[in-house]
Amino acid sequence: MAMCPSGCDDDTRGSDEPESSLSSLESQTEGAILGVLRARLKLGQIFSEAAWRSLVVCNPVQATPQSWTAELLASFRLDARDSRQHGKAEPHIWATCRDALRCYVQTGRSVSLAMQGESGAGKTETAKHAMLYFLLGCARTDSHRIIDSFRGNGRLDLHVLAEMLRTNSNSTTEHTVVCSHVLIESLSSAKTLRNDNSSRSCHLLKLAVSDKGDLSAFFLLWRLVGGKRGGGRAPRE
């Protein structure tokens, strides 16, 4: 779950489509919510809105390349026309990032995104795509070339991304951010029965962006988790 300012209207959905805003459901029971999430997942819709400006992301456990295209990323840029005016009201992590960036630009106040969920829920991948939005949201990087390279499996390979950014002389800061995460994954990730890239660390990434959405600086703080999760191993792992 990614916490951040959001808020898309649902007026353009067909009557047979499941509700994209969980807070708008008449019944707020666990069964009703899970039923909507399951129905949306069958349609390939892995994002749903929830209360308190939050986004629920369901791990599809399969490739969803249609959710990560360069054209879609471009539609969520600050200088793009609001997609809600064109009948596209579906929630997306990049829409959440856009709303967060817009809030920062308009108010000058810091905005945070927090990812939470159980192991294998998709926190790491969602965080990567959120980071990708801020790295490629400016015009200095060829987002089409980078996004297209991940359509094969729908997952974001930081090693590939780092190599692509290295060849762009205008993306020094972005390249450093990605290389830092490559190092963290190498030192603090493990393969478990439920997750082949289970994080054994928690980290805080601070990005400084201009009013145009360009990344200017970053600060990264991380630490390994201790206790059983940090050093233990379940049977058959």
Report how far residue 146's alpha carbon sits from residue 158's, in angstroms, rounded to the nearest whole number: 11
Poorest-confidence range of 34-48, 117-131, 196-210? 196-210
- Number of alpha carbons in the 13 Å side-chain half-sphere of residue 157: 12
Percentage of the chain lying above the pLDDT 90 cut: 7
- What pLDDT, on the 0 to 100 scale, is given for residue 139? 40
Most confident of the ranges 45-49, 124-128, 224-228? 45-49
Instruction: Please state the rounded mean pLDDT for residues 143-165.
Output: 66
pLDDT of residue 9: 36
Among 127-131, 156-160, 182-186, the range with the most confident prediction by mean pLDDT is: 127-131
Contacts of 175-178 spanning 24+ positions with Cβ under 8 A: 176/218, 177/131, 177/135, 177/205, 177/207, 177/215, 177/218, 177/220, 178/135
**Which structure tokens are listed for 91?**
């929630």
Give the DSSP letter string of 154-170: S---HHHHHHHHHT-TT
* 98-115 pLDDT, tens digit each: 888 888 888 989 999 998
CB of 6 closer than 8 Å to CB of 91: yes
Residue entry with tokens 């990708």: 132
pLDDT band at 180 (very low <50, low <70, confident <90, very high): confident
Q: What is the mean pLDDT of residues 42-54?
A: 87
Helices 158-166 & 123-136 angle (0-180, nearest 10): 10
Average pLDDT, integer, range 231-236: 66
Radius of gyration from C-alpha coordinates of the chain: 18
E-only strand ranges, the chain: 2-3, 47-50, 54-57, 114-115, 189-190, 198-199, 201-209, 215-224
**What confidence tier does 66 reach under pLDDT thresholds 50, 70, 90?**
confident
Q: Which of 1-10, 59-68, 91-100 has the least mean pLDDT?
A: 1-10
* Ranges 130-139, 194-203, 222-231: which has the least confidence: 222-231
